[in-house]
Amino acid sequence: MIGLLLRLVESSDPDRLRRALHWLYGFVRPQRGAILGLLGLSLCASLLVLAQPWLTKMLIDDGLLAGDFPALVKIAVAMILVGILGTLLSGLNRYLHTRLSGRILFALRDALYRHLQRLSPGFYARRRGGDLLSRLDGDVAEIQRFAVDSLFAGLSSVIGLVGAVALMLSLSWQLSLLLAVLVPIEVLWLRWMRRKVERETRALRERSADVSSFLVETLPAMKFIQSLGQQQREAQRLEGLGQGYMRQLLKLQVTEFLTQAVPGTLTSLSRACAFIVGGYWVVQGSWQLGALIAFSTYLGMAVGPVQSLLGLYVALQRMTVSLGRVAELRDEPARVESPATPRPFPEGPGELCLEGVWFAHEGRAEAILRGVDLRIPGGCKVAISGASGVGKSTLIDLLQRFYDPERGRILLDGTDLRELDLAALRRRIAVVSQEIVLFRGSLADNLAYGAPGANREQLEAVVRLARLDALVAALPNGLDSLLGERGQQLSGGQKQRIAIARALLQDPAILVLDEATSAVDEATEREVIAAIDQLFAGRTRILISHRASTLAETDLHLQLRDGQLRVLEGETLDHDA
């Protein structure tokens, strides 16, 4: 099957297409039982459809024209029963088909989403959010439609075509030659139109991604747009993107119309020819009227499946575009993986050791960390300062293994981070940053996001430690109050206190505060940090800030400059340079 598809599709990268088709087949294969059942129902439904014109022929020739009323009644009853059975089969088929289609759609989307979860922050920095949504939604749905809908449409078309041709030949082999002329012309026309359909489908997907990216970018920033009075400007941008999408959509519609219109016109001409020749035979008395009507019906039933099969050829090109776009995401490598057999997580105070660590972001020639050698004893309260852009946040990303060093290694309590289970490592290193992530849901859900098993008492305890009491008291349902999307109704300070409480509940071995208290006043900051010091006494705490008060009263003060971590004068540290 995959080999046949590869022969039907001309691809600039056949190896990628082959891998993508194997990936797609992996989701269809587990549903083989349901697919076989639906194929059986489709076969029965197609046979019932083919029976109706033959019963019409018998009704006219053997009942009406023969003057046999009992035969007329029997045939009419048979037609009613066939119609009722066909309706029941159609309803059952539609229900089972929808269920199967949904299973495969969500399995495809789930697999792609899980792959995206493994990719580094650098990947998301390079990609537009709207483009990812377009591929995850529209392209995956297009693939699913072809994988399921086209399968059953193709089977019904083949059954209909074979049955209709067989019955046409039994009625008149001479008139059946019309198909021998009609089908090759339609095949050549569809093949000629294929490249245009593929090109314009890809362009339409890109225009759709432009609109999605615009909405993803501007909706969360609406307050900022309003504050600068730029609503009209952004509305005009959306209008321009919408017009570009509409122009491309209309181009594709015209192309698809021409693709289907020419075969449809040829079909009408063929049926007209069949009526002229067959009608002459009926007038001459060499053929029966019922046979002519049945033949004309079967001709339409034969040409319809031919058009459907040729339409599947066009659908294949559209699916190939979507499959290629999804394959680009599937082929994006996960640069950080959990080891197949991770070492037991070390039980220690959170000692960190950097040995000859070099790192440069992708696309940048200059390394942001250059041979850093450093040992931070466990349980220390460490301050890290430095100018913006020198790599402080990158250093934290390395600790959580969003990236791995290009050279050197990082040890946690004597164990290389690359030898530890990735999920366990990230649970043991809690990071609270300026960019606070809040989800739609209750305050309790957001607090317990990193510790889903937390009970009510634990939630209330971290609320007190992070000084969230006033916020909880002000909300209508306390901890069970729903937060809006991204917590937009909360102040920056409230969001940061929620993030701090969430980190406390996570109970990590290492706590990193990356500008985490920048939105609260200094008095509140001192109280929060004092609570953290009390709760995390004996465990490693890393504070990154531009505020001098945040970095005061630390055991160690490090400065990141020129790719090196240096102890500021007056501090002591076991430091190997």
DSSP state of 365: S
Q: What is the pLDDT of residues 133-190, one digit of tens each?
A: 888 888 888 888 777 777 677 777 777 778 877 887 888 878 777 767 776 777 777 7
Kindly tell me the sign of the dihedral angle through the C-alpha atoms of 469, 471, 476, 482: negative
pLDDT at 6 over 50: no
Element (H, E) at 278: helix 231-284
CATH number for region 12-330: 1.20.1560.10
pLDDT at 335 over 70: yes
Q: Give pairs for 544-549: CB < 8 Å, separation 24+.
A: 544/383, 544/384, 544/385, 544/392, 544/393, 544/396, 544/512, 544/513, 544/514, 544/515, 545/383, 545/385, 545/513, 545/515, 545/517, 545/518, 546/385, 546/515, 546/518, 547/517, 547/518, 547/522, 549/522, 549/525
pLDDT at 345 over 90: no
pLDDT at 311: 65
308 versus 464: the higher-pLDDT residue is 464
pLDDT at 575 over 60: no
Q: What is the pLDDT of residues 385-428, one digit of tens each?
A: 888 888 888 898 999 998 999 999 999 998 999 999 998 888 88
Domain spans of the chain, in order of start: 12-330, 352-567
pLDDT at 574: 43
pLDDT at 573: 43
AA letter at 424: A
Q: What is the distance between the terminal CA atoms of the chain, rounded to a whole angstrom?
A: 61
Residues contacting 336, CB < 8 A, separation 6+: 118, 120, 401, 402, 403, 404, 422
CATH number for region 352-567: 3.40.50.300
pLDDT at 127 over 70: yes
Query: What Cα–Cα distance (Å) separates residue 396 from each residue in 156, 239, 547, 561?
Result: 58, 41, 18, 15
Query: Torsion-angle region of residue 415: left (phi > 0), alpha (psi -120 to 50) or beta?
Result: beta
Dig out the tokens for 524 from the structure. Answer: 């509140």
Most confident of 278-282, 337-341, 550-554: 337-341
Distance of alpha carbon 185 from alpha carbon 348, whole angstroms: 77
Dig out the tokens for 496 from the structure. Answer: 């940061």
The confidence band for 355, taking pLDDT boundaries of 50, 70 and 90, is very high
The confidence band for 361, taking pLDDT boundaries of 50, 70 and 90, is confident
pLDDT at 4: 44
pLDDT at 572 over 70: no
12-330 with 352-567: one CATH topology?
A: no
Instruction: Answer yes or no: are the C-beta atoms of 350 and 379 closer than 8 Å.
Output: yes
Q: Which of 22-36, 69-83, 228-242, 261-275 has the lowest mean pLDDT?
A: 261-275
SS3 at position 414: coil
Instruction: Answer yes or no: are the C-beta atoms of 266 and 185 closer than 8 Å.
Output: yes
Q: What are phi and psi of 545, to 5 degrees?
A: -165, 160
Angle at 402 between CA 397 and CA 405, to 5 degrees: 75
Dig out the tokens for 180 from the structure. Answer: 């021998």
Dig out the tokens for 276 from the structure. Answer: 């002229």
